[in-house]
Structure 1
């Protein structure tokens, strides 16, 4: 009996961007390991995401405690607080103020007079959240961070995931890092938010929200760490490249947020609060809870132009 020789493995036309061991650093090179005296830190993964214990966010937060929470966010990139049942919109506004000036998303309905945006998801919103993104990257000064409070959660499902974009950059090949060094990309809300609007609504919003450009690789405004800064819904093209070359490169870069080793996943409970570094991470709200409801209240922290 004749046995056919195995078919040769097809040659790859370009090297794999990820193969084998990955570099997963919680803090950047040369940074000191923080110490915490006033809060407990329970990591959910070794490098991104931690639950903070021993803090009642409805009570006044002194500067020493505030500094530990700010340091923890720089270290872990997303923090979770359980059982914050007295955490109301005014508390949320005050808490967001630990990082800067609070701002609401220009497209979300405001849940109250102080600008906290209410996100209610039910049967009418099936599938509308399933995409990795960074909040407000379509703005000239993207949001520095966000605070999200669980108001109503389904009995199962409705988790949120975050991806560490410093890890995404660290694990690019040297050739890819060299290729994207110095490039800028266009960020625009029209292909995503605009798809839900009439032409007149798009025109009205466009007056205040023109397309903007950000570096493909940015330095974090507070740590200086290099981060990959492109995302699926808002990054539309890379400046200076042909349309096919831009599309090919963007398709490769935006997929880095989907790598599980860079991610943390959080199961919401009533009274849960999350705060995340919106420059260092992307997030993905899992819409798997139909026909149950998921109601959240979110407020962002105004940012600065990125470099």
Structure 2
């Protein structure tokens, strides 16, 4: 969309304002929620509303119910949480940690790391640029992944950070007119435009039998706290149901920009033996592909989700 910029005023004049100016609404908690208290975990926020580093826990040790409850609460509050110095974490511990939220969910397009449910993501010269787009994991499934647990196996000396965007904030900062417009809309999510771009027609047909296009509300309610969230993303959301192709494309082009607002984001610099856990419904993420020719090797477990409403 073209913009006309004046040289004598304090701000640009847009022929169509894609994002509103002024103060951002940045609420960490769902409406009406009380501020949690923690007895075990140390919480160090990276921003006021999304992302916190957690100390005081060795993830290779057994996770009791009190610790599990605090981990669940921390993720619900901060949407993505980080741990450093977890050298003792093995695949069995990785699975136990993910089980705090639910059973593992395989990604049909990722190779497993030798342990069922654990996917190995090795990014090098053959994978440059593949991961640098804002997205929600598995939104092309009828019950998208509730979350993911990612640990670093090999990290580059510089670069390779990951960013997360708070999709509650993305929704909160839409205009009231836009909120009303999208409240009851649904969108189609499909893996073919992204994952299918490297497949043959026969391979696409094979996957299509178990992974048809699915529909999700454009505005979803978080399954655990009821917070309204904007649920569209660039690679997997293909159209808005009930709109013309042109109107659907224009609306999606506007909505996906919300993930790109810096005030809604947190950025994490990986070190060896770091772990990130994120709420895949409340956030989108973006793996920054800036480390070629160095390697970045991660292991990930996705947590099975539920249909969204």
Is the aligned partner of 1:205 residue 2:190? no
| Secondary structure of 2:197's aligned partner | helix
Give the equivalent residue in structure 1 for 2:216: 214
How far is 1:277 from its partner?
0.1
Give the equivalent residue in structure 2 for 1:295: 297
2:235 to 233, 236, 260: 233
Unaligned runs of 5+ in 1: 1-5
Distance 1:288 1:7, change over 3 A: closer
Alignment size in residue pairs: 302
Give the equivalent residue in structure 2 for 1:129: 131
Is the aligned partner of 1:41 residue 2:43? yes
Distance 2:211 2:54 in 1: 36
Distance 2:201 2:172 in 1: 41
Q: Is the 8 A contact 2:188 2:240 kept in 1?
A: yes
Distance 1:115 1:83 in 2: 23
| Secondary structure of 2:29's aligned partner | coil
Give the equivalent residue in structure 1 for 2:158: 156
How far is 1:300 from its partner?
0.3
Distance 1:158 1:11 in 2: 36
Deviations 1:56-102 (A, max 9, x none): 00000110011001000000000001000011111111100000111
What are the residue-to-residue correspondences of 1:1-307 with 2, within 5 Å?
12-307=14-309
Q: TM-score scaled to structure 2, two decimals?
A: 0.95
Distance 1:146 1:153 in 2: 19
| Secondary structure of 2:248's aligned partner | helix
| Secondary structure of 1:86's aligned partner | coil
Q: Is the 8 A contact 2:164 2:265 kept in 1?
A: yes
Give the equivalent residue in structure 2 for 1:3: none
Q: TM-score scaled to structure 1, two decimals?
A: 0.96
Q: Is the 8 A contact 2:91 2:115 kept in 1?
A: no
Distance 2:258 2:175 in 1: 12
* Runs of 4+ more than 2 Å apart: 6-17
Distance 1:11 1:295, change over 3 A: closer
| Secondary structure of 1:245's aligned partner | helix
Q: Is the 8 A contact 2:159 2:290 kept in 1?
A: yes
How far is 1:124 from its partner?
1.1
Distance 2:12 2:300 in 1: 48
Distance 1:70 1:10 in 2: 43
Deviations 1:244-283 (A, max 9, x none): 0000000000111000000000000011000000000000
- Greater CA radius of gyration, 1 or 2? 1
Distance 2:270 2:15 in 1: 43
Q: Is the 8 A contact 2:107 2:138 kept in 1?
A: yes
Deviations 1:215-240 (A, max 9, x none): 00000000000000000000000000
Distance 2:293 2:17 in 1: 44
| Secondary structure of 1:255's aligned partner | helix
Distance 1:251 1:154 in 2: 33
